[in-house]
Amino acid sequence: MNLHLEIYIPVMLSAVVHEVAHGYTAAYLGDRTAEEMGRLSLNPIRHMRFIGSFVLPLSLLVLSGGKFALGWCRPMPVQSHRFNKPIRDMAIVCAAGPAANTVLALLCWMMMLIVDASSSGSAFRLWLVIGCAANVFLAAFNLIPIKPLDGWNILNYFRYKNR
C-alpha cells in the first residue's frame, strides 16, 4: 500500500465525519439545509473540494515525504435563522464536529489496544494510529477561536449568551 494513501484515507474520512456531525446536529436542532442539499452523507465525494481535498494535501504529502498534509472539505451548509435559539444552537452545531473527532480518536485508540501486538506493522494498525492522531489534531485545531473555525462560534455563544 502506498504510504500517501495510508495517510490520506483516514484523514479524509475523519474530516467527512466531522462535517456530517455538523449536518446531523443542525438537522436535529431544526436546520435541514444540509439534508435538503444531499450533504448528510458519508460519501467523501459530496464533501470534497478539488484544491483543498486533493491538490494541496496530496502535494504536501509528496513534498514532505509522507510526513505532512493540510487540506479541507466543503463546510456543511447551516442557516442559523432556522434554529429556535440561533446563537446557542450554532455553538452546539459547531461543537459537534470536534466532538465527533474526539469520539473517533477514542475509538481508534481502543481498537489499537485490542489489535494484536504482533500486527504492529500491519496497514490496519497504521490506519488506526493515523486515525487517532488525525482526529485529535482535527478536534483541537477546529476549537481554535478564530474565524472560520468552529471555536469562533462556540466563543460567540459565551460572548453573547447573557444578551
Catalytic residues: 19
Helix locations, 38-149, DSSP H = 56-63, 86-114, 123-142
Q: Output DSSP code: residue 73.
A: B
CA separation for the pair 9, 107 (Å, rounded): 17
Asked if residues 78 and 93 have their Cβ atoms less than 8 Å apart, the reply is yes
Asked if residues 156 and 39 have their Cβ atoms less than 8 Å apart, the reply is no
CA separation for the pair 137, 160 (Å, rounded): 28
Residue 116's CB: how many other CB atoms inside 10 A? 8
